[in-house]
Each structure stands twice: as C-alpha cells, then as structure tokens.
Structure 1
Amino acid sequence: MKSEVALLQYSDASLKPPLSPLFIHNDPSSNIEDHPSLSNLNITQQQEQVQQFLKDDWLPITESRNGNAYYAAFHILNSNIGFQLLMLPPAFLTLGWAWASVCLLSAFVWQLYTIFLLVKLHESVPGIRHSRYLFLAITAFGKRLGKVATLFPVIYLSGGTCVMLIITGGGTMKLLFNTLCENKFNAHSLSGAQWFLVFTCVAILIAQLPNLNSMAAISFIGAVTAISYCTLFWTLSVKKGKASGLSYTTSLSKDHSAVAKITDILNAIGTIVLAFRGHNVLLEIQGTLPSNLKETSKETMRRGVTISYILIAMCIFPLAIIGFWAYGNQIHGGLLTAFPLFHRHQITKFSMGAIYVLIIIHCLSSYQVYAMLVFDNLEIKYTSIKNKRCPRLMRTCFRVLFGGLTLFIAVTFPFLPSLSTLLGGMTLVPITYAYPCFMWLAINKPCAKGVVWWFNFALGCLGLLLAALLVVAAVRTLAITGLKANFFKP
C-alpha cells in the first residue's frame, strides 16, 4: 500500500533550515505521474522535489512510519504519566475536596480536548503531515510568530523535561541506595552529582536506538512501571489506612491577606494544570504512524489516545483523591516524601525499594521520548546543511553531547523543580491549553464568530490568561519565600 502522496501546492524548500518543516513522507516506489505537482516539472526539478520529500526518511521521528495504535498508546503513557502526579494531594489540601476535584476534572477534559484538536491538525489537509509541533505552529501563525510563540516552550519541554528526569531519577537512585543499605555505607555512598551521572549514562546508552518506533518496547516498559508505581502508592495507602489526627480543612489561613490567598490558590491550580503534559510530543508520536489518502493516521491515533487516557485517568484520579484522604493536612512535599515518612514501620525495605526501582525505570524510559525530539532537531540541522543522512557516528555523538549537556544543567541547577510552576506557566500551559485552539482556528477557519469559533477563541484566551496568572503567582511566591539556589550541590 502506498504511503502519503507528495504535497500538491506547497514546497518546504521555501523555509530556511533548520526550521524547514519536513511534512511529507514520499514513497520512492510511487510514480511521478501520481503527483500532479511533480509531473508538470522537468526531470531535474522532479528529482530535486523528490529528494526534498525523502529527507523525512533520514530523521529519527519519521524514519520509521510503521507504528500502530498500541505503539502510540505506549509512547503517550510513557511521556504523560510522571512524577508530577505525586504532587496532586498537596493541591487538594489548599483547594479543598470540592474545588480541587472540579479543577482536576476540568483540566483533564480541557487538555484531552486540545489533544484531539492536535490529532486532527496533524493531517488537516490531505497529503500534508505536520509531524512536529513547531512546524504546525509555523503553518498556523506564520514563520516569525510561530517561532516566537513556540520555539522556547518546545525546546524547554523537550530538553528541560530531560533535565527534570535526571534530577528525579538520580535523586530516587540515592533514596534507593539509602533504603536498601539502611545508611550503613554512607561513607562510601555516591554524591548527588554522581548519582545524576549514573542515571545519565544509563539513559544515553538506551538512547542509541535509532528512531522513535524502535523505542516502542522501552515506552511499553515505561508505561507499565508508571502505572505500577501510581497504583502501588494509592492501593498501599488504602491498605495501611489513614494517618492519625488528620484534618481535611483547607490550608488557606484566615490571617493571610487576600493577595496571599489568591497566590496560594493559583499555585495549587498550577500544580493540577501542570500534572498533564506530553502535548509537545503528540504530533511526533502521530508522525510515526502510517498514512495515505484513503486511511489517514487520525483514526489510529485516536484509538491510541483513547486507550492511553483511560489508563491515565485510572492513575490520576485515585492517586490525587486517595492520597489526600490518607494523609490530609499532614502531607508535605508530595507522596514520594509522605508515603515513606508515614509508613516507614509498616512497609518493608523490599516494597519501598520496588517502588523506587519502578520510578527510576520510568524516568529512564520517559527520558527517551523527550530526548528523541532534540535528537530529531539536531539531525534536521545536519541534513539541511550536508544534504545527506546523518552518519551513525555523528548520530551517536549528538546523543552523547545532549546527555552531557542535560547532566551539566541538572548538576548546575538542582533546584529546578522549585521553579516548575514558573517555567510551566511560561511553556507547558500555552502549549497544552491555548495554542491548539488558536491553531485550529487559523488552519480550519470555521465560520467566523460562530459558536465553534467563539468556543475555541475563548478557550485559547483563557489558557493564555491562566499562563500569565501562574507566572505572576510563582514570581510572588519566590519573592516572598526565596529560592534555595544550591548551584552545583545536588
């Protein structure tokens, strides 16, 4: 079966590297006569156009397009479920049962809606595939505005997430060592930076797999481990019962000023909103699926999204609700801190160590999906300059270089998690909750000022407003509480 036909009235050669949107995957076995835009050109021009279309086959994201709904579900689960879910119970403490539940459900439905918008926009025009978020934004908003609006958020949500995974995974390795050894070998234990190095070395070793589809097994392992440790946290919390002397009264103090209360509420909403991630890798995941004019990738991707988000909902809602039920006003620092603190005499070292191992494996697996976007961008730059496939040695060098860079940033800024609300408000919130609505309006052009138009426009504006409020609240919190900037001391 033939793959996608070439783009009829568009040439990506008009955009300069390294941001040339390589939308089209063209099957060289197909005939020139099948492509009206190519049949009108001379032989030299036809060869140049086909060569340009074939560049997609050189890149890690679109090198293999033989994925399926299950592969897509594995990648989505692996990239979307993460350590940020363990911070949901403290948000419930600030907002209370009712409002926290409403906010969590609203955020879940909102980001799921924007996901389906992105799935539609991937192939909004027959024959054109937008396999990268940045290139879709350029198509929707224009070259300059698209880059200004999305370049930094996309870069941060790829590379920055890898740094956060090193900090979390390396820190969990240290906790695992201390748990299993009962602090008997502290004199010989590794420092925080050394644990980061161990984590990064393992992650880069796994990252030598050539493309995103080849990592389906890694994503499957990451999805299983993520679901497993989320399930263990809430099931063991139910089994061990509530902590004594709990209160479910909101942590908002009557003595605080109105501004302080609003800031606390916004920070709690930010924790809930930032629990959902992965929109920046969604188009790339869909880009690994086969497509042609008769059977596009939309239906396959919808099945993958549906499967994955049923499982994500089964992780998020019990974890948040039962976590707050079990620890109430005594939870501080999230479940990863509260769980071993309250149950240190009830949970065996093996059980706690198993949870830590699951978290480490998931961090290693999730690192691969986000890092693959950076590898893809590096190879886009190389192929644009050299006009040839990236050699295996150069590909390995790129990946080792990226691993070293993320390790350096993790060691230099080990306090990066404390800036998650500030950075998330600037990057994740617009990418997840606002831009898809505006891109859908710009590309699909629904009836102006109609119900659908107003709905998406209002939702996009609300997303931008939410992003601005979260940034302001985060800045105020940092100004009041200060920042423990432990540079080079993880």
Structure 2
Amino acid sequence: MGNEDEYLKSEIVLLQYSDASFKSPLSPLFIQNDPSVNITEQQQDEEFPRDDWLPITESRNGNAYYATFHILNSNIGIQALMLPAAFLTLGWLWASVCLLSAFVWQLYTIFLLIRLHESVPGIRHSRYLFLAINAFGKRLGKVSTLFPVMYLSGGTCVMLIITGGGTMKLLFNTLCDNNFNAHSLSGAQWFLVFTCVAILIAQLPNLNSMAAISFIGSVTAITYCTLFWTLSVKKGKVTGVSYTTSLSKDHSFVANITDILNAIGIIMLTFRGHNVLLEIQGTLPSNLKETSKEAMCRGVTISYTLIAMCIFPIAIIGFWAYGNQIHGGLLTAFPLFHRHEVTKFSMGAMYVLIIIHCLSSYQVYAMPVFDNLEIKYTSIKNKRCPRLMRTCFRILFGGLTLFIAVTFPFLPSLSALLGGMTLVPITYAYPCFMWLAINKPRAKGVVLWFNVALGCLGMLLAALLVAAAVRTLATRGLKANFFEP
C-alpha cells in the first residue's frame, strides 16, 4: 500500500502542470501556466481542464508494447511503396545514401522529442503543438506549428479516406471482374463506406483503448509491405528492366534538379508520425523513479527495427524487380505486371490488408483533433465532455474529412507540396530548434551547432521541396477533378 501511495504522489507531481492545463490554441482565450506560480489542485480543478478528461491523456496505463503498436500503425504507410520510384531518379548509390540519411535523421529527432516530453520538471508535454508554443513562445509557436500539426492530423485522415476508399473499389473490381451483373459503387460512395466504418471504430474513448486496433493495423502494414517485396523476389525481374537513371541530358538543368528534389521528397515524406509521437508518449505512466521516456525509447527501438525491415527491402528489391518500369510505385507496378500470375484471392488479400491498415491508422491521426475539440469544450464548460458530445465531435470530424475527400479527390497529387510545407519541418527541423530553445546548450558547443545546422538544413529542404513541387505542378498540370473521385 505504501508503494502505491508513493507512486500516486509522484504521478500527481508530474501532472500538476501538464500541457492539458493550457486552453485550446484554437481559442483566443489561450492561457499558459507559469510553473513558478504555486497553483493548488483545487484551483486547477476550477480553472483548467484536467488530463483525465481528455482522450489522449484520459488513460495513462500504457506500456512500451502499446507505444510500439501505435508507432508502427502511424509510421508505416502506403507512401513506402513509392520508394522504388525515388531510386529510378537518384540511382542505386545516391538513393541508398538519401534513404539511410533520412532514416537516421528522423530517428534522431524522435529521440529529441521523447526527451522534450518531460524536459521541464513538473510538466508533461503530451501534445506537439503545446511543446512548440512552450519552446517558441505563444505567437511564433502557433504561427509555425498550428497549420502543419492540424493538417498532418486532419489532412492525413483525408488521404486515408481517399486511399482506403479507392482500395475498396479496387478490391471489388478484382473480385468481381468476371461478374457482369456486379455494379461497383461510385468513388464517393466507397469513400462514404470507408468513413462510416472509421467513425464507428473511433467511438472508442481514448488512445490507450485503441491499442488493439493499432496492433491490428501494425500487423497488416508489416504484412502487406512484406508481401509486396517477397512476391516481387519470387516473380523475379520483369522483362526489359533497366536501371538507368531517369535523369537525361536532353532535359534542362532546372528540370533535372526538380526531378532530384522530387525524388528526395519521396524519401523524406516516407517517414511520418512525429506529430502524434508526443500524444503516444502521453498515454504512458510516469513517476519520479521512472519517467515515460524509458518505456517510449523501448517502443521506438522495437518499432523502428521493424520499420527498417519493411522499408529498406521495399525500396531496394522494388527497384531491382521493376527498374525503369516502376512509375507509380509498387501498388501500381505489381498488379500491372503480375495480375495474371497472382490469384484473385492473393490480390484481394493484399487490398484487404491495406484497407484495414488505413482504417486503423485513421484512429491515431484523428485522436489529436478529437483531443483539441474536447480541450476547447472543457476549457469553456470546466467539466468532462459528455459521451453524447464526444460522439457528435467524432461524427462531425468524420463528415468534414469525408466532404474534403470527395471535394478534393486529387489531394494525393498535392502531397509533395503539402508535405514540404508541413511534414518536413515538423519531422526534420522543429525538434532541433525546440531542443535548443528549451535546453539552451552551452554556447559555441558542438551539440548546439549540430542542431542549428540540422534544423536549418531541414527548413532549407522544405523550401526546396515546395519549390520543386510547384514547378512540377506548373509544367505537368493538375487534374482537378472536384467532386468526381
């Protein structure tokens, strides 16, 4: 009993000034607590929302395995199947160097974020946005981080609806291609089916309660990634394969540079999930003897070992098997060349795995939006969000993402542009600057200049990737099929 009391006291100390004590950054009533001011627990109850009211931090009984499931579910994605296309532009050597560099770089920023989660005694930063505001200040933190974080949550959910709904249509067409009486639903209707299932799953109360969903999502993601590269090995190289780079002397210097930057963008955008990393860590218990950092580090180590075992074979073997015929990535190339060599059941199973993973991943990326809506509600009402209101928030969000997906079904064509504006700074640059702002390392030290250089390089690459994406859209055009998915 004594050990339990000691644990509870240490947990209260760490949670006394949680970032859930801040009002919603979407609200003009934003308030940031000053840890130097002594606020009693009763005053905090009266003035600020409590952690145990909110879906991210409502349950802190997670563990390293739960963190592993959430990280795998959110970080592995369909974008990994595009990696062989980057090899076509950069060639074997430079593509391998860029892929390894991006992997190590984003892994380094992950460990920075893990350390920043409880970098200040008495504060747990369980939300990326609040950590940025604490590091950069109220105005700069909101200006630099609000749009990227909200887009990477809501925008990713829209992308998952487009991908999942489109894959449902492919599954139907694959299984019913000889049944002339079978009529497929329209693209918008498939989007609606996917969204209804996703919102039904989203009724689970908090992020910790979705551990089983994330486990299923991580298993399906690893399975379909493994199937793509193992079946590519089994089928062997396609006829007439060539490994000559797509760069040409006939193209202008600017055109070749644009293609190189687009290929680097494919590699950098493969790694995602930093915007939900602190939220995942926020589900872990913490006390004065062992903080959440230890369990989170174990979860990251396990998950990224598995991610590396998926991503590197997909990139290398995918390019080996299809070479200069990989345009569109493995999801396009594999059915194109092996449709008649693979049974309907096998192709259908791969599509089912992708759909299940999209449904699971939707839950993790939607959770920060649900959490922020409830922070807004609790800061106004000063009470827990009722179950009916929570359900309404989630249905409202599902309807909004569905409307955007149907309105802008060409959004994946803008992924390089939007990813350069949002994902690259959030993943590769901001963690370095936040670590410098909060920890204030020794002036003129190696660590300081290393993080400054890394952060500036990340921002430079973000700007270059945006410029390259804009030029590509200007030269190749954009099929803006509004309301016609």
Q: Give the TM-score category using the shorter length.
A: over 0.9
Moved over 6 A (4+): 7-14, 21-24
Q: Give the structure 1 partner of residue 3 of structure 2.
A: none
- Give a deviation string over 1:188-236, Cα, whole Å, max 9, x none: 2100000000000000000000000000000000000000000000000
CA-to-partner distance for each residue in 1:302-341, whole Å, 9 max, x for gaps? 0000000000000000001000000000111111110011
Which residue does 2:338 correspond to in 1?
343
Asked if the contact 1:8/1:36 (under 8 Å) is kept, the reply is no
Cα deviations by residue, 1:66-108 (Å, 9 ceiling, x for unpaired)? 0000000000000000000011111100000000000000000
Matching residue within 11, 30, 36 for 1:4: 11
- Counting only pairs closer than 5 Å after superposition, residues 49-448 of structure 1 correspond to structure 2 as 49-51=44-46, 55-182=50-177, 184-185=179-180, 188-448=183-443
Matched-pair contact (CA < 8 Å) for 2:85–2:328:
yes
Say if 1:6 and 1:53, in contact at 8 Å, map to a contact too.
no
Return the alpha-carbon distance in structure 1 between the equivalents of residues 267 and 55 of structure 2.
32
The 3-state SS of whatever aligns with 1:85 is helix
Tell me the equivalent position of 2:482.
Answer: 487
Identify unmatched segments of 5+ residues in structure 2.
1-6
Which consecutive unaligned segments of at least 5 residues does structure 1 have?
Answer: 25-34
Q: What is the Cα-based RMSD across aligned positions, in Å? A: 2.0
CA contact (8 A) 2:16 2:122 kept: no
Query: Which range is displaced more, 223-232 or 444-453?
Result: 444-453
Contact 1:21 1:135 in 2 (8 A): no
SS at match of 2:146: helix
SS at match of 2:237: coil
CA distance in 2, matches of 1:36, 1:140: 17
Q: Which residue of 1 aligns with 2:449?
A: 454
Contact 2:241-2:323 within 8 A present in 1 as well: yes
Query: Whole-Å Cα distance in 2 between the matches of residues 50 and 159 of structure 1?
Result: 30
Paired residue secondary structure (1:453)? helix
Q: Distance in 2 between matches of 1:457 and 1:302?
A: 24
The aligned counterpart of 1:27 is none
Change (3 A) 1:105 1:84: same
Match of 1:470 in 2: 465
**Preserved contact between residue 382 and residue 390 of structure 1 (Cα < 8 Å):** yes
TM (normalized to structure 1)?
0.94
Distance in 2, matches of 1:54 and 1:272, equals: 40
**Structure 2 vs 1, CA of residues 21 and 169 (structure 1 numbering), >3 Å: closer, same or farther?**
farther
- 1:433-476 superposed Cα distances (whole Å, 9 cap, x missing partner): 00000000000010012100000000000000000000000000
SS in 2 for 1:308: helix
SS at match of 1:5: helix
Q: Which amino acid aligns with 1:298?
A: K
Deviation, 1:37, is 6.7
Letter in 2 for 1:374: V
Output the CA distance in 2 between the equivalents of 1:390 and 1:209: 14
**8 A contact 1:127–1:293 mirrored in 2:** no
CA displacement at 1:405 relative to structure 2: 0.4
Shift in Å, 1:185: 4.2
Q: Which amino acid aligns with 2:11?
A: E
Q: 1:331 to 1:450 in 2, by over 3 A?
A: same
CA distance in 2, matches of 1:433, 1:309: 16
Q: Contact 1:127–1:292 (CA<8 Å) still a contact in 2?
A: no
Distance 1:173 1:437 in 2: 40
Give the letter for the 2:127 counterpart.
R
- The residue type paired with residue 71 of structure 2 is I
